[in-house]
Amino acid sequence: MDLKSALAALDAHEPGSLLELRETQWLDAKAAAYQLANPRAVEELAKDVGAFANGGGGVIVIGIATRLEHDEEVLDRIVGVEPASVNLDQIRKLIRAQITPSLRGVRVGWSGKDERVVFIHVPAQAVDTLFVVPAPVGKPGSVRPDTVAVPVRDGDSTHWLMRTEIQQLLSAGVRASGMPTAQALAELVREAVSGTDLTELRVGQGLPDRERELREAYRQLAEAGLGKPAGEAWAHGPAAVQDLHHVRDEESEWVLCLVAGRSPVAVAAPVWQAIIEAGRGAAGQDPLAAVGYPVPPEAESGPWVIRADAGSVDLDGGTWGAGRLARPGNGMWRWQPLPRFGLHQGRSATNWTAGQTPALRLRAVVNLPWAGPDALEITKSRRHELEQQLPYSALAGDLTMLSKRRGADLPAARWERAPYGNSSRSVAYTCTITTPDGTPALRAGVMLALPSSMESTVVACAEVLVEDTTAWAAALGPGWETRLRLEEAQVALLSAWEMAAELLPGLVDAGDLPWAAPPTTELRLSSERPAPNDVLPTLETLVDLAPLGPGDGSRPMMAVTITGEPRVPSSERRDLARRALVHMARAFGYVDAELDTLQ
């Protein structure tokens, strides 16, 4: 279970799902509530929350006892918390007052039905921000006005950053920005120690240049239940953002988001957090910079609201391009790219082709950039299941039909492990149709590879190859045409895509792993066996491209890339493939290509 799954369990009032988890970088459990009448407990709360803010986010669960097992704390049993002993609003206010700068998106709430626990969720904060708290003294009224401390999370423990490390951080800042004056340093320390009275915050405070815009957006959206600011506004790329309370429910929060050129939107805090979590896997990048910001539905011409029970949210403006955050039947949010087509082929486009020169290759490559794929493995049982499925797959059927349509019964029933690409991290199988003398005529292949030092993405590939047109003609008998009809090439690419997107990823249990980048599918047609003059034959000599209309007819290769969810219903995949092939044909010179020329 990861942080996202743990939060889903807490939101579903199932804290028991966390039992047997080990305390880790993102999880801390406490059997008893913080006794906030004691200054030491207030300092401990600030330290614990601030450490998660400095460490990438996490959750503190209060009311679950742990046991020590192999020097690790394991969540053992629910002891519960009496509602009368905890004041959630007090916890929120202390977090705001004790930690500088103000945290964004912190949630404090109850979970459970019979035995209730309290959780404090600290989302990941801006990566370039350091959070500090007043230096601990353990006595009421004794906050030192001249120093602060930096809490950090290290594995399953929380501690203070050593002064040598603080000095290194300060020196790095001085090198980057220059030495501040003594007066400026003193003012920064006073601000960090004194905290901020958030009851005096105003809408737009913190962004003077956009305060008027935010106040007007707030006025227009007030009927949604927006309450007082829960922190200062901040800028994120083209967006101005501010956390707000709910006017009637202090446990509920909104995020006011204003992107230049778009209508303002109020987003319920759980949905906003889901947006951030969707982009969390983007390596070395801020989550919102990856997935972008909410895009209003076409029906919305003015300010609009995304409530906590929303089923989907369209996003755009990030490096991942247009996408949609949706939660299907399991209730878990997942980002999906909105389909689009391009011509760029990734580094995996020519994987598994070394030393091969087929007459024609029809290939589909599916790139699956899952976040956190290191735990994935290809087990012996899954490999055996694939071996049983291959002879009955759509790809095997299409390979067989290429000959059957030409009067020959050449079944693609025998699949063997390929002499390359088989290891604990990869699989490769081929099926070969030969002439009576053993010359390869047709071949189908499937391959899947887990990430390696050379490739960070899970790559699945399936293909149909005409190895040798002369050998195939000999196997068919006299009078049969070996050139493929466009319809046959289209069906082969579609079956290869289905194999690479559906059957091959079943070799690993990826579950609900989020994306680290948009997934893509690459469809490719290539002539690869040179003629005696060392020139590659054109595709038109191997595939009848006449239905696409006139073209330059000189190309040995055409390819297209589909950015979109790889696993889709068959009817949607067929439609996407038709649109992609028309996009490809037009880009490669067949400018009159139309959808109605394809199946």
Q: Are residues 423 and 517 in the same domain?
A: yes
- Report the alpha-carbon distance of residue 139 to residue 43 in Å, rounded: 10
* pLDDT value at residue 281: 81
Average pLDDT on 408-422 reads 85
Average pLDDT on 142-152 reads 73
Confidence of residue 153 (pLDDT cuts 50, 70, 90): confident
Q: Are residues 570 and 485 in the same domain?
A: yes
DSSP label of 499: I
Confidence of residue 581 (pLDDT cuts 50, 70, 90): very high
* pLDDT value at residue 187: 60
Asked if the structure places residue 201 within a domain, the reply is no
Q: Are residues 104 and 74 in the same domain?
A: yes
Average pLDDT on 336-353 reads 92
3-state secondary structure at position 240? strand
How many other CB atoms sit within 10 Å of the CB of residue 491? 22
Confidence of residue 142 (pLDDT cuts 50, 70, 90): low
Mean pLDDT of the chain: 87
How many other CB atoms sit within 10 Å of the CB of residue 284? 5
Residue 141, pLDDT > 60, answer: no
Task: Indicate the pTM of the whole model.
Answer: 0.71
Indicate the range of 468-482, 535-549, 577-591 predicted with least confidence.
468-482
**Phi then psi dihedrals of residue 206, to 5 deg:** 110, -20
Residue 188, pLDDT > 70, answer: no
Q: Are residues 455 and 439 in the same domain?
A: yes
Asked if the structure places residue 188 within a domain, the reply is yes
Q: Are residues 330 and 225 in the same domain?
A: yes
Q: Are residues 260 and 381 in the same domain?
A: no
Confidence of residue 197 (pLDDT cuts 50, 70, 90): very low
Indicate the range of 40-49, 239-248, 398-407, 423-432 predicted with least confidence.
239-248
Q: Are residues 221 and 166 in the same domain?
A: no
Percent of the chain at pLDDT > 90 equals 48
Residue 526, pLDDT > 70, answer: yes
* pLDDT value at residue 198: 43
Average pLDDT on 188-195 reads 58
Confidence of residue 196 (pLDDT cuts 50, 70, 90): very low
* pLDDT value at residue 121: 94
- Report the alpha-carbon distance of residue 252 to residue 227 in Å, rounded: 10
Indicate the range of 66-70, 73-77, 402-406, 595-599 predicted with least confidence.
595-599
Q: Are residues 307 and 368 in the same domain?
A: no
Average pLDDT on 189-202 reads 58
* pLDDT value at residue 101: 83
The structural domain count of the chain equals: 3
The shares of helix, strand and coil residues in the chain, as percent rounded to the nearest 5, are 30, 25, 40
Average pLDDT on 384-398 reads 93
Identify the CA nearest to 548 among candidates 489, 492, 596, 590: 590
Alpha helices (H) along 222-282:
269-278
* pLDDT value at residue 140: 62
Q: Are residues 463 and 571 in the same domain?
A: yes
Are the CB atoms for 253 and 243 separated by under 8 Å? yes
Range of the domain at 381: 341-350+357-597
Asked if the structure places residue 202 within a domain, the reply is no
Q: Are residues 11 and 102 in the same domain?
A: yes
- Report the alpha-carbon distance of residue 503 to residue 526 in Å, rounded: 24
Asked if the structure places residue 294 within a domain, the reply is yes
Residue 339, pLDDT > 80, answer: yes
User: For 73-132, what is each residue's pLDDT tens digit?
Assistant: 999 999 999 887 888 878 988 898 888 888 888 888 888 887 889 999 999 887 778 888
- Of 231 and 508, the structure prediction assigns the larger pLDDT to 508
Q: Are residues 275 and 374 in the same domain?
A: no
Residue 429, pLDDT > 60, answer: yes
